[in-house]
Every structure is written in structure tokens, then in C-alpha cells.
Amino acid sequence: MNILVCIKQVPDDSVEVGIGADGKPAIDSITKVVNAFDTYALEMAARYKEALGDDSEITVLCVGPDEAKNSLKNCLAVGGNTAYLASDAAFSGSDPSGVAVIIKDAIAKLEEDKGAFDLIFTGKEATDAALGQTGIYLAEQLNTGVITNVIAIDVKDGKAVAKQETDEGYRMVESDTPVVLTVSKPDYDPRYPTIKNKMAARKKPIEGFDASILADPSLVGDAGAKVVAIKTYEPPKKEAGVKVQEESDEDSALKAIGMMVEAKVLG
């Protein structure tokens, strides 16, 4: 199997993001990590490769700034075989359709050496903007099927068979390969890198792509973006109310119930 995993580097989502002095989201000081759903995608790909036990290869691709190399190194320590960074000032400001174009053109370049990919994994959404669009745009541009919210994958008789999580259960979905799979949280966690794998990953090269790979540069970056950001701001803060802390928890409960009755929110 020839497997591609597309990842995005995002600010650690356990840190609350506010607006900085420049009016933009203040994310510079927040540690950058691989988007959680992309780590699930990589883990799913790695487990699938291990189950096959053959010479399948996992290529990891990231569209992002130069500093995203760190995220790619981390991916090389937890299952990725080779890693590529598509980075260029011209990519900046791309919306999901633009990012999908960059990935599509990078795939064309990668396939010159590696042959056609069978499975293209990515997270169902990124934890920063939570759009959940890039995988779907990519599939349309590649003219392949797309299966979203995947929690398990197999390939049988040349067809990808995926378990798609739904609100109430799941659907089994089948598609010819190549196929784009957007991964939700399966019932397992991504592995931690061993020290040995970490050391080996550090030595591996990260190769790069720039805007010269683009078939049509007008589709990416600020100029190619169909969705244009006007402004960012913080939502009005909900005002904190009253804290209740009496002598005992029982007293606190009684006082709170009294306040709720007064506020007419009970019954």
C-alpha cells in the first residue's frame, strides 16, 4: 500500500487563544503541535501498515511554515517513513480550496517518484478553525471518493472499506482506491515515540516543495482564496456570576437552590 498522511501544524489546543495587540489571534507564543485529528490519522495509517506487515510506505505531507518541520519530525518518529513540507510565501492566506490545490500538486510531484497513492489520510478537521473542508475539497480536485469521520479502515479486493462514525452508530462505506479518508477519534490513542525512533527521526531529511510545483498559482494564497477574512475579534465575555461557598457543601447547595428559585430557572 502506498499511503499518504496530510497533516497541519496548529497551536496546542489546550491553550486558550485570545486577540493580540495587532488585532490578530495571539498564537505566536503557543507551542505548535500536530493537529490532534491528524495524529489519529497517522496512527490509523501506521496500524494498518503494521497489520499488513508488508513493504507499505507512509509518506507524511504538511502545508505550512518552515517551523512545521518540527511537527513532521514528530510524525517520522511515530510511523511516518518519509516527510515533505510544502512551504512558500505564496501559499500564505490560502483557504481550504487553495490548500487542497497545493496538496494535489504536491501529490502529483510525489507520485513521480513513489507511484500512485492508494490511501490519502487526513484529520476530519483541524483544532484551530475546525472547518473540516480540506479533505473534501482535495477529493473533489483529485476526482476520488472521500469518506469522512473514519474510525477504522481496511482494503478488500482493491476497495477501501471504512467505518464512518455517526451520531447514533456507524456506517460502513466502500470506495475504489485512491480514496481520501478524513479521520475522527478512534477508540485508541496515538502512540508515543520511543527514544530510538525519536533519534532516528531527527536524522531523516525533510524535503520541501515550493510554489514551483503549482500547475495554476492563481488558485492559492490570498489572491486565490474564495473566502476572505474581514476581521477577527473576541466574542463578548459572558459575565461571571456569583460564587457560592458556604461552611459545608450541603449549605452551599441549599443557598444555590434558593438563588435558582429566585432567578426562576427552576420549574
Q: Please confirm whether the linkage preceding 178 is cis (ω < 30° from 0).
A: yes
Chosen residue from 102, 147, 183, 220 binding another protein by CB under 8 A: 147
Of 195 and 265, which CB lies nearer to another protein in the complex structure?
A: 265
- Taking CB under 8 A as the rule, does residue 250 contact another protein? yes
Nearer to another protein, 60 or 181 (CB): 181
Task: Rule CB under 8 A: say whether 166 interacts with another protein.
Answer: yes
Q: Which is nearer to another protein, 143 or 195 (CB)?
A: 143
Q: Give 203's contacts (C-beta < 8 A, 6+ positions apart).
A: none
Q: If binding is defined by CB under 8 A, does position 9 make contact with another protein?
A: no
* Cell 520541501 sits on residue: 208
Nearer to another protein by Cβ, of 189 and 210: the residue is: 189
Which part of the chain contacts another protein (CB under 8 A), choosing from 49-57, 111-119, 146-154, 191-199?
Answer: 146-154
Does 174 contact another protein by CB under 8 A?
Answer: yes
**What is the spatial distance between Cα 79 and Cα 23, in angstroms, rounded to a whole number?**
39
Quote the CA–CA distance of 34 and 66 in Å, as a whole number. 14
Work out how close the CB of 175 gets to another protein at its nearest, in angstroms, rounded to a whole number.
4
Residue in the structure block whose three cell numbers are 505531507: 61
User: Which three-class secondary structure state does DSSP give residue 191?
Assistant: coil
Q: Applying CB under 8 A, which part among 41-49, 67-75, 109-117, 132-140 lies near another protein?
A: 132-140
With CB under 8 A as the contact rule, the residue among 69, 140, 217, 222 that binds another protein is: 140
| Nearest alpha-carbon partner for 18 in 29, 9, 7 | 29
Residues between 189 and 248 that touch another protein (CB under 8 A): 225-235, 237-238, 240-245, 248
171 binds another protein (CB under 8 A): yes
Q: Which residues in the 52-71 window bind another protein by CB under 8 A?
A: none
Alpha helices, H only, 84-133: 96-114
Near another protein in 16-35, by CB under 8 A: 16-19, 25
On whether the CB atoms of residues 88 and 221 are closer than 8 A, the answer is no
d(CA 103, CA 43): 20
Rank residues 199 and 244 by Cβ distance to another protein and give the closer one. 244
- How many residues contact another protein, by CB under 8 A? 79
The residue from 179, 183, 201, 214 that contacts another protein (CB under 8 A) is 179
Angle at 178 between CA 200 and CA 66, to 5 degrees: 40
CA dist 4 → 62, 79, 117, 198 (Å): 11, 12, 7, 20
Interface with another protein includes 266 (CB under 8 A)?
A: yes
